[in-house]
Amino acid sequence: MQELGQLRAVPVAGLDRVRALLQPSPAVKELTVPQLAVTAVGADRPGIVAAVARVLHDRGGNLEDSAMTILGGHFAIVLLVDTDDTPEILQDALATATAELGLEVSVTPVSGQRSTAEATHLLSVYGTDKPGIVAGVTDAIARVGANITDLETQVIGEDDTPVYAMVIELVSDDSAALETELGAACERLGVDHTLRTIDAETY
């Protein structure tokens, strides 16, 4: 079986990642420049990132945060951009520049707050692949008021014995309660987990 540490190279994108980027967390600060969230999905092919980045550069936009990954043969991008463009203007510019690449582009405004919270815990979950693992584990996290800052998943192992692995970074001020809820949830789901605190030397 592959080491779980290798999973960190495979981020989750799509709607879950969008929500994570746009959801205010316990520590926030006001934005001084308008920000737009740019999402783009299309068949994986060379030149996608270059085309999007060129539009942002040419229009004077500044890329603040980004997440990009390949999911099921499709390349997905989520970006937060500082720009004076309206969502409509930037979306039209991106759609025109990427038309030949077949991207589906969406641009929406972001609220006037951004997260400054840093993860305090790293959770690893692994076991036989089955429906409900993400729902069960994240529900346990929510019950103790913890906030997820990053979530990554991958199915590893052989085709006849798939193993589901998930790595979550989260913010919590109650390790004991978090461990209790996670332990009960993972036992019900029939999966294993490890929870450890993150310090300045973790990475």
65: pLDDT strictly greater than 70: yes
Q: What pLDDT does residue 4 have?
A: 45
Q: What pLDDT does residue 25 have?
A: 44
Range in 34-43, 107-116, 159-168 the model is least confident about: 107-116
> What residues does 162 pair with on adjacent strands?
157
Other Cβ atoms less than 10 A from the Cβ of 52: the count is 24
Q: What angle do CA 155, 158, 160 make, to 5 degrees?
A: 100
**What are the structural domains, with CATH classification, of the chain?**
4-12+116-195 (3.30.70.260), 32-111 (3.30.70.260)
**What is the rounded distance in angstroms from the CA atom of residue 35 to the CA atom of residue 60?**
13
Q: 188: which residues sit within 8 A by CB, 6+ positions away?
A: 136
Q: Average pLDDT for residues 159-186, to the nearest whole number? A: 93
Distances (CA, A) of 93 to 55, 59, 124, 190: 7, 9, 40, 49
Range in 25-34, 88-97, 105-114, 149-158 the model is least confident about: 25-34
Q: 167: which residues sit within 8 A by CB, 6+ positions away?
A: 4, 7, 8, 122, 123, 124, 125, 151, 152, 153
What is the value of pTM for the model shown? Answer: 0.68
Q: Average pLDDT for residues 144-152, to the nearest whole number? A: 93
